[in-house]
Amino acid sequence: MALKLPIYMDNHATTPVDPRVVEAMLPYFTSRFGNAASRNHTFGWEAEQAVENAREQVARLINATPKEIIFTSGATESDNLAIKGVAEMYREKGNHIITMVIEHKAVLDTCKRLEKYGCQVTYLPVTKDGLIDLDDLRRAITPKTILITLMYANNEIGVLQPIEEIGKIAKEHGVIFHTDATQAVGKIPFDVQKFNVDLASLSAHKMYGPKGVGALYVRRKNPRVQLAPIIDGGGHERGMRSGTLNVPSIVGFGAACEIAQKEMATEMERLGKLRERLKGSIFKRLDEVYVNGSLEHRLPNNLNISFAYVEGESLLMGINDVAVSSGSACTSATLEPSYVLKALGVGEDLAHTSIRFGLGRFNTEEEVDYVVDRVVETVSRLRELSPLYEMAKEGVDLKQMQWKAD
Amino acid sequence: MAYSDKVLDHYKNPRNVGSLAKDDPNVGTGLVGAPECGDVMKLQMRVNPQTQVIEDAKFKTFGCGSAIASSSLATEWVKGKTVDEALKIKNTEIVKELNLPPVKIHCSVLAEDAIKAAIADYRKKRGAGQPTAVGEPAQASAD
């Protein structure tokens, strides 16, 4: 069968909506369009019933109860609500927050804003594997600590933090634990009870659901977590998030969760094999390629590789019928190379050469093989063009060079 | 980001890729940029010492498509020019020719620097009698 181009392999950025999810959503745009808050007619009741059904589907996937699910516009809002909500609600108790340097910007920038309002934030470093040191975390906790916010799976390198241990430490110290689980939920098992998670951010569009909808899990028992809302209004979602519910998208989110739960085990295995195929073939055919972050503690669908001596944007240009992302400065809005790779101690020279592959539900073996061919061919061609590759082959130590750049 | 057709053309069919013997007294080598900044250009030219005409030029570039295109274009433009004429090539002309967007202007600056650095290297080799390039070339050297 002929391959369909372009190939999408950027599933950490977003995922296509599963056709089964679209199917579930459609009636809620037209015949069942009611406002879930309308209490006195069937249109409202139907919408409310659909939302409550979705709430159960989401809750079941993460082993929570439906009342603990607050629907939001996505994980960025969930992160904001969790962190700002705790900071305000628990300000009598303390003002110290612990996070880490490779969090998503939705967490880092929220923490930075809170610093302006008097919060103290500790940014834990990570090892070259991309993992925090649990002793660093223990040492960082003070009597003023009100929140630990550490992501489960990283969006660039797919590295998984030791979430169960973090949950235990947080519980021992009586500190609320929030995790941005956006990249993990629906891909690998995530259990709020087992992990002692108090708050968790979720997003539908990273798991074959629609964009513009997400959720915050808010623990109701042991301990009962309270949040100050950041959006005030009609008191929807137990007063924590006002605004008319996005019923079709919430229905889609629920359907996506149900599918993920049913298919997770087989999908994890399949994607893990595809990832090994991708990595194995690239490593067999190219020298001087490096995996960024731990391979052991990692999402099965993620691969982040630096191709030494080949700048990332030029590589993307060469494989223009394949959609992946790069940590190169040239591809970022800030013109800075990836802060995540920098935090791992990946040199800026190698950070410029990194490519993130995000495999997904709809990728096939044939696609992986095609991508490998294109990558190998383009890297080889660009290395022929690279003065650095030439110098390295001549034995020049590039690290000892004194580069004089403006 | 969309690339101009000219950038794509130079990226896909780069002109004058390769290296010249850097120990040849008639060859000037310019190496500018830094790996940490995401672009390094090596531009070399062979100059006829009698006529001062640049008879051959080669490049290798580590960098984005615009950096590759800028240096590829630079080799095309210097070939056949005298050294003094080549020194007059301005980065703004490269920007115009390749339709570079504002975020890629530094690629053209680097190409201009590479030309100047190569000429300065050539003149240094030929003896101190020659005037040096205008402006400080950003040349990398292995110390």
List chain B residues with CB under 8 Å of A402.
140-143
Q: In Å, how far are A280, A393, B73, B79 from A289, measured between CA atoms?
A: 11, 15, 30, 36
Give me the mean pLDDT over the A347-363 stretch: 94
Provide ipTM, 2 decimals: 0.85
- The tens digit of pLDDT for each residue in B72-121 reads 999 999 999 999 999 999 999 999 999 999 989 999 999 999 999 999 99
Considering chain A, what percentage of its residues have pLDDT values greater than 90? Answer: 93
- The predicted pLDDT at position B132 comes to 46
- The predicted pLDDT at position B138 comes to 44
- The tens digit of pLDDT for each residue in B45-69 reads 999 999 999 999 999 999 999 999 9
Nearest CB among B68, B103, B138 relative to A406 is that of B138
What is chain B's alpha carbon radius of gyration, rounded to the nearest angstrom? 14
- The predicted pLDDT at position A348 comes to 86
Query: CB burial class (10 A; 0-12, 13-18, 19+) of residue A51?
Result: buried
How many pairs of residues across A and B have Cβ atoms under 8 Å apart?
Answer: 96
Q: Is B64 a catalytic residue?
A: no
Tell me the residues of B at the A interface, defined by beta carbons under 8 Å apart. 3, 8, 11, 14, 17, 19, 31-42, 60-65, 67-68, 103, 109, 113, 138-143
Non-local CB neighbours of A388 within 8 Å, separated by 6+ positions: A308, A309, A398, B35, B40, B62
How does residue A401 score in pLDDT terms, banded at 50, 70 and 90?
confident
- The predicted pLDDT at position B141 comes to 45
Residue A406 to residue B113, Cβ atoms within 8 A:
yes
- The tens digit of pLDDT for each residue in A155-173 reads 999 999 999 999 999 999 9
How does residue B40 score in pLDDT terms, banded at 50, 70 and 90?
very high
Q: Which residues of A279-290 are buried (b: 16+ CB within 10 A; e: fewer)?
A: bebbeeebeebe
From B127's Cα to the closest Cα of chain A, the distance in A is 23
Name the one residue in this structure whose structure tokens are 């019923």: A247
Q: How far apart are CA A298 and CA A187, in angstroms?
A: 11
Q: Which of A256, A255, A230, A259 is nearest to A242 (CA)?
A: A230
- The tens digit of pLDDT for each residue in A206-250 reads 999 999 999 999 999 999 999 999 999 999 999 999 999 999 999
Give me the mean pLDDT over the A288-309 stretch: 97
- The predicted pLDDT at position B137 comes to 47
Token representation of residue A70:
């607050």
Nearest CB among A317, A335, A349 relative to B65 is that of A317
Token representation of residue B46:
């062979």
- The predicted pLDDT at position A334 comes to 66
Token representation of residue B78:
């210097």
CB-CB contact of A207 with A258 (8 Å): no
- The tens digit of pLDDT for each residue in A243-277 reads 999 999 999 999 999 999 999 999 999 999 999 99
- The predicted pLDDT at position A404 comes to 65
- The predicted pLDDT at position B135 comes to 45
Nearest CB among A317, A387, A403 relative to B61 is that of A387
- The predicted pLDDT at position B136 comes to 46
- The predicted pLDDT at position A1 comes to 61
How does residue A335 score in pLDDT terms, banded at 50, 70 and 90?
low
From A395's Cα to the closest Cα of chain B, the distance in A is 12
Non-local CB neighbours of B127 within 8 Å, separated by 6+ positions: none
Name the one residue in this structure whose structure tokens are 């034995």: A395
CB-CB contact of A156 with A341 (8 Å): yes
A399 touches chain B (CB under 8 A): no
Residue A311 to residue B67, Cβ atoms within 8 A:
yes
Non-local CB neighbours of A260 within 8 Å, separated by 6+ positions: A61, A185, A186, A187, A207, A208, A267
Non-local CB neighbours of A188 within 8 Å, separated by 6+ positions: A153, A160, A264, A268, A299, A300
Query: CB burial class (10 A; 0-12, 13-18, 19+) of residue A56?
Result: middle
A328 touches chain B (CB under 8 A): yes
- The predicted pLDDT at position A397 comes to 86
- Which one from B27, B78, B83, B107 is the annotated catalytic residue? B107
Give me the mean pLDDT over the B37-45 stretch: 94
Residue A326, strand partner residues: A355
Give me the mean pLDDT over the A69-73 stretch: 98
Backbone angles phi, psi at A51, to 5 degrees: -65, -45
- The predicted pLDDT at position B133 comes to 46
Q: In Å, how far are A154, B30, B66, B104 from B16, measured between CA atoms?
A: 42, 15, 16, 22
Considering chain A, what percentage of its residues have pLDDT values greater than 70? Answer: 97
| Mean pLDDT estimate for chain A | 96
DSSP string over A191-237 = -TTTTT-SEEEEESTTTTS-TT-EEEEE--SSSPP----SS-SS-TG
Residue B34 to residue A403, Cβ atoms within 8 A:
yes
List chain A residues with CB under 8 Å of B143.
402
From A242's Cα to the closest Cα of chain B, the distance in A is 37
